[in-house]
Amino acid sequence: MNLRMKLLVVPCAALSFAGGVALATSPESKAAPQAQALPKHVVPASKDGNLVLGLCDGETSLEVQGVKDGQKLTRAQAITATAQLMDDWRKKNPNANWDDVPGPVLAQATPPAAKKSPPPAPQPNPGSKPSGNDVRQGGVGAETGARAVPQQQKTNLQTGHTYGAFSERDEQVWAASVQETVKEGHRVFHDAEALGGTIGVSCDMCHPDAANTHPETYPKYQVQLGRTALLRDMINWCIENPVRGKPLADGDPKMRAMEAYIYAQRKGVKLEYGKH
C-alpha cells in the first residue's frame, strides 16, 4: 500500500467508526420506551370471600353478597351492583359536575343506526366492448362519468372538502366505513365478554351510551392514574379495574373501535376541562 492509499484508508476508517457511534447513540437506535403500567385499584378483601367490585374512580368499592370472588356476575346482577356503586359515588360527591343519565337496560342496547349503504359498483354489461381508458369492461375508468364532470364543477357539491373533489359515492363509502367502526365499538362497550372482562361488568353499566366519559376533555390529568392521560389510558384503566380484564394495545381494533364509539356519541359536546 502506497502513501496515497494509506492517506485515503485512515480517514475512511475514522468516518466509519464515527458513523457507527452515531448510529448506536441516535434516538432511532434506542429501544422504544415501555408503556408505564397503570396503577391498580386495590379493593378491600371480603371476610366472607365475596366478590368485591371497584368503581372507575379508583376508590369506591362494593361487596356483592352471595357471589364469591372468582365467580362471574350475570348481566342483571352486574347492573344492580354497578348502580349501587354509582349511587355510593354520587352520595360522596353531591356537587360533582356529572351528567344525569338513565341507567343501562338489561337487554343489549340498540346499536347506532346504520347509514345508507353506498350504491353497488357498476356491473359489466355482457357483450359490450371496453371503451376509451376503462381499466376493465364495465368498471370504473378514466372516462366513467367524464361528461358529468364539467357540470359538477359548476355546482357546489364539494363544499367542506379540504383535499380535493370527491363524489357523493365517495362520501357514502367513507360514512359506511366510519359507521362500521362505531358499531363495533358499541358492541365491545356493551359486552363484558368482548371486553375480556372476568366478572360480567361492561363499560355501559356505569356509562350508558358513553355518558360521562367526556372524551372532549382529554388529554388531562387523571387522578386515578396519577398522570396526564389519553382517552385510551382511561379505557384501559376501566378494563383492568372495574371490568377486570387485560389492557388493550394502542393499535388493538377493539381499542380503536371503542374510541370511535365514545367520540361519536359525544360529538357536539362543548369542551369542559376538568370535568370527569
pLDDT in tens, the chain (276 residues): 555 555 555 554 444 444 444 444 555 556 666 667 778 899 999 999 999 999 988 899 999 999 999 999 999 999 999 999 999 998 998 888 777 777 776 655 566 665 555 555 444 444 444 344 333 455 555 555 666 666 665 555 555 667 777 777 888 888 899 999 999 999 999 999 999 999 999 999 999 889 889 898 899 999 889 999 999 999 999 999 999 999 999 999 999 999 999 999 888 776 666 565
Instruction: Please report, for the chain, the start and end positions of each structural domain, with discontinuous segments joined by +.
Output: 50-95+174-266
pTM, entire model: 0.68
Cα 25 to its chain centre, rounded Å, is 34
The CATH number that domain 50-95+174-266 falls under is: 1.10.760.10
